[in-house]
Amino acid sequence: MVLLSLTASHHELDLDALERLSTGSMSVGRTVVGTCRPVQGTVVISTCNRFELYLDVDAPLDGDTVRHATRHVAELVAESSGVTAEVAATSFTVRTGPEVAEHLFAVAAGLDSMVVGEREIAGQVKRALAESRADGTTSKTLELLFQTASRTSKQVGHSTALGGAGRSLVSVGLDLAGESLRPYPAVRAVIIGTGAYAGAAVAALSARGCDDVRVYSQSGRAADFATSHGIGAVGQDQESLVEALEEADLVVSCSGARGRRPGSPAASAPGAEASLEYVLDAASVARARDRAAARAGDEPESDALVILDLALHRDVDPSVADVEGVLLYDLASLTAHAPTTERAVVDQARAIVTDAAARFEETRLGRAADGAVVALLDEAERQVAAEVGAAVDRLTAELAPLGHAPTESDREEIARSVRRRVHAALHGRIVAARATALAEARAAEAAVVAGAERSLRPVPATD
């Protein structure tokens, strides 16, 4: 088995490119398991700043199977996202072996996030595994990988100050919005979406004293979400959203539902990015602002409407920023305002991640060393049996003139003594054999993925 990950994140791509790559690709996990026999399992992580596929590949050491799997996955991503196969192939960073575990553990701990130390990603990693289970696309190795990632994230949270300040995109956004809003206890907020970020937004607003919060969802889940979080709900139709915006000071949009509006042709048109509908468009916002101004009459001009768009697939039309009296912050602008984290804290967290990844790899590749260790143990048992037999024969010869024979206790003591001595001498050989087998397994796997990575690079055109 070879663990393989294909990663595209804000580190390698700008957010526009990442958005294009991940559009419509959530079904890739099911498709690749169903169409690529060597792939035993997949887990897909798709968040506001990353799109990653983790694969468990049953691959021979010549690497052809892994090269085929990686190329096949890139083509599937291209097909579902509407980008070219070349763009998909060159957008991914390929990792294997210890790099896979160390990267995922760093992601789960918040070390690879736009806001270093943010905690929402830990829940997103857990949900990615749960969704893979529901789709029937996980594997024993991926289960162990993702469960270990969650445990490592908890260890980082408990053992370091990383994330202790409640860092997240939501908190960064609310801090930034607060500079242009009245005090939060007087703010009227509308949340668009009912996912993890929506829940985090409710909690963060509540912590700031904001209790006038309503939620809107195109999917019809607003009422249930509102009940479970103790807030108000907005009707499912667009006109209800416009009415809510008339009174709002703050909008936190995090649905990721762009292009999924019921009945919209864009909801089913692969690659038709230009036609995707925004959850919140400029016309709706302008209409809401005009109504608010008309209702205010001769009263002083209303405060600015601050909109935080936390969705990778941009819930909010960028032209909303041109509507008078509106301040729009998207992921890129929020990232620019993200707080820095002390280097010592990050180093401490990375040390935990590195150690956990090394232990995971030893466990995963331990099967490659088990055969060598078992062979040594079998050899040792044969040596013990031979030496015990010889020792018993000598004792029998010594006792025979006296008319005695070795007792069962004598035999057991001889066996214990011989086994203790043989196994003490064997320890060093076992350690060396295990280390050699692990090194050989890592080297073989590295050779496999090197070929796979080369296969993802486009072939230069020739004259």
- How does pLDDT run across 422-440, given as a tens digit for each residue? 888 888 887 777 777 767 6
Is 48 catalytic? The answer is: yes
Does the structure show a pLDDT above 70 at 179?
A: yes
Write out pLDDT tens, residues 344-362.
Answer: 888 999 999 999 998 888 7
**What is the per-residue pLDDT for 229?**
95
Is the separation of the CB atoms in 152 and 108 below 8 Å?
yes
Query: 353 is written with which tokens?
Result: 């991640």
Residue closest to 108 by CA, chosen among 93, 96, 99, 120: 120
**What is the per-residue pLDDT for 194?**
87
Is the separation of the CB atoms in 335 and 113 below 8 Å?
no
Task: Classify domain 2-163 at the CATH superfamily level.
Answer: Glutamyl-tRNA reductase, N-terminal domain (3.30.460.30)
Distance (Å, whole) CA 197 – CA 254: 6
Domain residue limits, the chain? 2-163, 169-336, 365-451
Question: Rg of the chain's alpha carbons, rounded to an integer?
Answer: 30
Burial class for 39, CB neighbours closer than 10 Å (0-12, 13-18, 19+)? buried
**What is the per-residue pLDDT for 57?**
84
Rounded (to 5) percent helix, strand, coil in the chain: 60, 10, 30
What is the mean predicted confidence (pLDDT) over 135-141? 91
Distance (Å, whole) CA 350 – CA 356: 10
Output 385 or 313, whichever has higher pLDDT: 385
Catalytic residue among 36, 48, 210, 254: 48
Query: 36 is written with which tokens?
Result: 């690529």
Distance (Å, whole) CA 279 – CA 216: 10
Write out pLDDT tens, residues 276-330.
Answer: 578 899 999 999 999 888 887 656 556 789 999 988 778 899 999 999 999 999 8
**What is the per-residue pLDDT for 463?**
41
Q: Taking all residues of the chain, what is their mean pLDDT, rounded to a whole number?
A: 81
**What is the per-residue pLDDT for 369?**
64
CATH of domain 169-336: 3.40.50.720
**Residue type at 273 in one-letter notation:** E
DSSP state of 193: -
Residue closest to 325 by CA, chosen among 357, 353, 276, 292: 292
Which of the four pLDDT bands, split at 50, 70 and 90, describes residue 260? Answer: very low
Distances from the Cα of 46 to the Cαs of 52, 194, 317, in angstroms? Answer: 6, 16, 21
For 103-160, give the DSSP string. Answer: HHHHHHTTTTSSSTT-SHHHHHHHHHHHHHHHHT---HHHHHHHHHHHHHHHHHHHHS
The predicted model scores a pTM of 0.65
Residue closest to 342 by CA, chosen among 102, 153, 116, 152: 116
Query: How far apart, in Å, do the first and last CA atoms of the chain sit?
Result: 40
Least reliable range by pLDDT among 38-47, 244-253, 447-456: 447-456
What is the mean predicted confidence (pLDDT) over 137-153? 93
**Strand 188-192 to strand 212-216: parallel, antiparallel, or no bridges (unpaired)?**
parallel
Write out pLDDT tens, residues 16-29.
Answer: 666 666 666 667 88
| H helix count then E strand count, the chain | 15, 10
**What is the per-residue pLDDT for 163?**
64
